[in-house]
Amino acid sequence: MKAPKKLRIALDAMGGDYAPGREIAGAVEALQASHMQFEIVLVGDEQVIRHQLALQKAEHLPFTVAHASQIITMADSPTVALKQKKDSSLAVGMHLHKEGKVDACVSAGNTGAVLSAATLILGRIKHVSRPMIGAFIPAEHGTCLLVDAGANVDCRAQHLYEFAVMGSIYVELLKNKERPSIALLNVGEERLKGTEAVLEAYKLLSSSKYNFIGNVEGSDILKSKADIVVCDGFLGNIVLKFGESVPSFLKNKLRKFSARGIINKLAVSMALWPLKVSLRDMDPNEEGGVPVLGVNGVTIIGHGNSTAKGIKNMILRAVEVAQSQVNQKIEAALAEKGF
């Protein structure tokens, strides 16, 4: 009997604010956590990577290095960078995936560039009009998948419908949730509220076979009213970033309170433990990153300032997605409804 082929994940070792140190630390953690059940291809400057592997005493682990001479930085314009830096770690990693040499390509680098690279190099899944980003937002009961979380500024009803279908399949397979609930993000629960695109998407989803529960408001996301919340990428990006800024806002408020006196300081020090535990879900490192959905492949985008744990979780999530049938199911589902 032949052993099943080990999965191979390409990691953009030069993406992220603290690359390649944290990238490689996270990759080591991922391999150790999974007992080496897959291989990692580290993409980037070979000399720098080998040096880091030596520093972290990780040369014995199942790493391959794919050399890339250039780096796309956070300040680069995504489309310009992809044209000019053909030998960037991101482009090289994505091409390895396109050529079938790896089963996924993950990066904590420039979000726009990763999204563009995935879309341009891997291409779209058949029947998908626009790839998008899904982001898990912590909610009272589990998480809520926000789609689109930032890929598409202007969206028509058809796009919103496709985001809903892709999100539903992703949550069903990756969070093991049967018939997850889908809602449109709107300014009221009434059917006749919202922009033209949202009104039209409401009709499309109502007559679909998916578990569409109607509109939800901004206050319903954290209340876990729906498993998947659908909106255009302009709104999604702003809501996502607003939410991510809450913990540091709170920290600053507590710091000010603490500065008012010794008793205040003591009270805050007592408050830190329950707060830390309660806010743990709000740490993007727990999820590891946001998947790009709708492209012919598996890509997860990590936060630029991911910790090693964040990188580890990004890699482990990519392994899960690569083992799932997400893309085949998306293609089949969107083939059914012909626009």
C-alpha dihedral (165, 171, 177, 179), degrees to nearest 10: -10
51: contact with a copy of itself by CB under 8 A = no
Scored b (16 or more CB within 10 A) or e, 162-178 reads bbbbbbbbbbbbbeebe
Report the residue from 194, 294, 302, 310 that binds a copy of itself according to the rule CB under 8 A: 194
Q: Please, what is the minimum distance in Å from the beta carbon of residue 278 to a copy of itself? A: 4
Q: Please, what is the minimum distance in Å from the beta carbon of residue 275 to a copy of itself? A: 6
Closer Cβ to a copy of itself, 20 or 131, answer by number: 131
80: contact with a copy of itself by CB under 8 A = no
230: contact with a copy of itself by CB under 8 A = no
Report the residue from 54, 55, 80, 250 that binds a copy of itself according to the rule CB under 8 A: 250
Report the residue from 33, 58, 174, 254 that binds a copy of itself according to the rule CB under 8 A: 254
Residue 295, beta-bridge partner list: 124
Contact 174, 149 (CB under 8 A): no
Site size with a copy of itself, rule: CB under 8 A: 53
Where does residue 44 fall: left (phi above 0), alpha (psi -120 to 50 degrees), or beta otherwise? left
Report the residue from 208, 275, 329, 331 that binds a copy of itself according to the rule CB under 8 A: 275
Report the residue from 124, 130, 257, 283 that binds a copy of itself according to the rule CB under 8 A: 257
Q: In sequence order, what are the residues at sequence separation of 6 or more whose Cβ sits closer than 8 angstroms to the Cβ of residue 155? A: 130, 148, 163, 197, 232, 233
Task: Give contact residues for a copy of itself (rule: CB under 8 A).
Answer: 139-140, 150, 153-154, 185-187, 193-196, 217-223, 231, 233-235, 237-246, 249-250, 252-254, 256-258, 264, 267-268, 270-271, 273-275, 277-279, 281
